[in-house]
Amino acid sequence: MTQASSTQPSSTMTVKGEGDCRIAVDTLGGDHGHGPIIEGAVQACKDFGIKSVLVGPEDELKSVISSLGAQSLGLDIVHSAEFIGMDESPARAVRRKPDASMCKAFRLVKEGRASAMISTGNTGAMMAAGRVIYGFLPGIERPAIASIIPVVGDGNPNVLLDIGANVDSHAHNLTQFAVMGSIYYTTLFGVEKPRVGLLSNGTEPVKGNDVIRAAAVEMGSMSMINYCGFVEGRDIASDKVDVIVCDGFIGNIVLKSLEGCVRLIADQLRLEATQGVINQIGMGLSRDVFRKVFREKFDHTAHGGAPLLGLRNLAVVLHGASGARSVKSAIAAAKNFIDKGMTTKISSEICRLEESVEEGSEVSLLVGGNGA
């Protein structure tokens, strides 16, 4: 890719060369404007050497880059003054706003001018644009969004998916989620064959609905999945499994419930700190402990965004309130996913899964026919 400076128009960009990893960054659609997003991209370039293609209003982006003293970093700019709002219908907005910053960021990747894209915008629109512009990997019926869930101690966090890409799923969708979640976990932490659990209302085999029980049977028969059985809601942040699989409706509720619990604890601690001098002293003495827990353990900005698994190219969605730290982390995470070939591995394993399912179906038909 040509090292176009921030003062050069987007037309100077060329197809990226081998080894040149740039991340397309949608600078519009977040809760706090494009300032923190650009700052995060600048930090990622300074700290990790990862360059970005910033998509947004050119003059405003140049102004922010200049104010940060980052003109010499070689960050490209692709102009877009239009964005998809949080209250818009995702599919309709993607069709009606092809020049929106999010859509342009997706197209930069598809056209080979970037290796991945990230956005703090409308998650539904991210899924719609990914489906229309990227398309699904062969064999994928539905994509999934994966999220990191902290656990006690210094061990690896857990992965929860789907957290909102689909409001409902059938059994084979959940099996595909398990495959994708396992590869995502391995990419993050280097653990081969991570333990997979299905989220249910009990650990007994008779628990769950028909879809969950069918998915359990299918996962248990697949050698590529280290399936460990059902897990309950209280096990999500435990060390029982590494990857927790559920449909997007349940996953989104779980994730936001966990966020609400963390906020409840933090707010209650602040309230207790105002209830007398003794409490204030105690809270003051514990400040470093609380800062470590809430800043390092519960702060989503340390892990970047959530990848949209199952698309032909890489896209990472961030929380709408993301600041510079979260954007910087997401860019670093996207680079890691690219370097380790996560999307290619998912494609390969999903094809292997589908072949094994087809072979199993053929065997069942033959056995049934002979038995007749």
Phi and psi torsions of 25, nearest 5°: -115, 115
Confidence of residue 29 (pLDDT cuts 50, 70, 90): confident
One-letter amino acid of 11: S
Q: Which pLDDT belongs to residue 160?
A: 95
Report yes or no: 254 and 246 within 8 Å, Cβ to Cβ. Answer: yes
CA distance 278 to 59: 53
pLDDT at 5: 38
Its sign, for the CA torsion 77, 78, 79, 80, is negative
pLDDT (0 to 100) of residue 300: 60
Among 42-56, 83-97, 112-126, 278-292, the range scoring the smallest mean pLDDT is: 278-292
Tell me the mean pLDDT in the region 246-268. 86
Question: How crowded is residue 291: how many other Cβ atoms within 10 Å of its Cβ?
Answer: 10
The answer on pLDDT for 290 being more than 90 is no
- C-alpha distance across the termini of the chain, in Å: 63
- Cα(329)–Cα(127) distance, integer angstroms: 21
Residue 202 has pLDDT above 80, yes or no: yes
% helix, strand, coil for the chain, step of 5: 50, 15, 35
Q: How many of the other CB atoms lie within 10 Å of CB of 22? A: 23
Rounded average pLDDT over 83-88 = 85
pLDDT of residue 103: 95
pLDDT band at 3 (very low <50, low <70, confident <90, very high): very low
Domains recognised in the chain with CATH numbers: 1-135+311-340 (3.40.718.10)
For residue 153, pLDDT beyond 90: no
What's the pLDDT band for 11 if we cut at 50, 70, 90?
Answer: very low
Letter string b/e over residues 122-138, b meaning 16 or more CB atoms within 10 A of that residue's CB: bbbbbbbbbbebbeebe
Computed over every residue of the chain, the mean pLDDT equals 85
User: What pLDDT is stored for residue 298 in this prediction?
Assistant: 65
Q: Is the pLDDT of residue 8 over 60?
A: no
User: In this predicted structure, what is the pLDDT of residue 280?
Assistant: 75
Give the mean pLDDT of 65-78. 91
pLDDT tops 60 at residue 363? no
> Would you say residue 372 has pLDDT above 60?
no
Give residue 10's pLDDT: 44
In this predicted structure, the answer to whether residue 369 has a pLDDT above a threshold of 90 is no
pLDDT per residue as tens digits for the range 224-239:
899 999 999 999 988 8
Residue 364: pLDDT band with limits 50, 70, 90: very low
What angle (nearest 5°) sits at the alpha carbon of residue 321, between those of residues 253 and 290?
80
Task: Select the highest-mean-pLDDT range: 17-31, 73-87, 268-282.
Answer: 73-87
pLDDT of 267 reads 81
